[in-house]
């Protein structure tokens, strides 16, 4: 069963079973010369809406310059570590 291929010089289809090649030995790419309608590629305006930020559900609004104490993070680490160790006591070694 042979496959249809096109001659790069004439563009005609042939049933010889081999791919057409150019005089330089390259296989031509069909359909590159036809220019279709181009999509519109304009700049999309960026709207800075603070209510649509991904962290807005867990965010607590504080006055500017307010930072939490580092002891909260240390306490959270200790609490989670103790919780993990406590849960591991339920699994026998």
Domain boundaries, the chain: 3-90
Query: For residue 81, what pLDDT band results from cuts at 50, 70 and 90?
Result: very high
Judge whether residue 36 has pLDDT over 60.
yes
Q: What is the pLDDT of residue 41?
A: 83
Nearest-5° angle of CA 51, CA 57, CA 61? 70
State phi, psi for 73 to the nearest 5 degrees.
Answer: -70, -40
What is the pLDDT of the chain when averaged over all its residues? 75
21 CB contacts (<8 Å, ≥6 apart)?
8, 27, 28
- Please tell me the pTM assigned to this model: 0.35
Which pLDDT score is estimated for 86? 95
Distance between CA 6 and CA 13 in Å, rounded? 4
Q: Would the pLDDT of 32 be above 60?
A: no
């Amino acid at each position: 069963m042979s496959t249809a291929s096109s001659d790069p010089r004439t563009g005609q289809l042939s049933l010889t079973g081999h791919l057409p090649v150019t005089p330089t030995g390259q296989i031509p790419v069909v359909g590159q010369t036809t220019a279709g309608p181009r999509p519109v590629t304009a700049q999309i305006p960026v709207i800075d809406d603070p209510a649509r930020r991904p962290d807005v559900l867990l965010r607590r609004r504080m006055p500017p310059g307010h930072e939490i104490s580092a002891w909260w993070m240390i306490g959270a680490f200790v609490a989670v570590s103790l919780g993990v160790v406590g849960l591991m006591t339920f699994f026998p070694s």
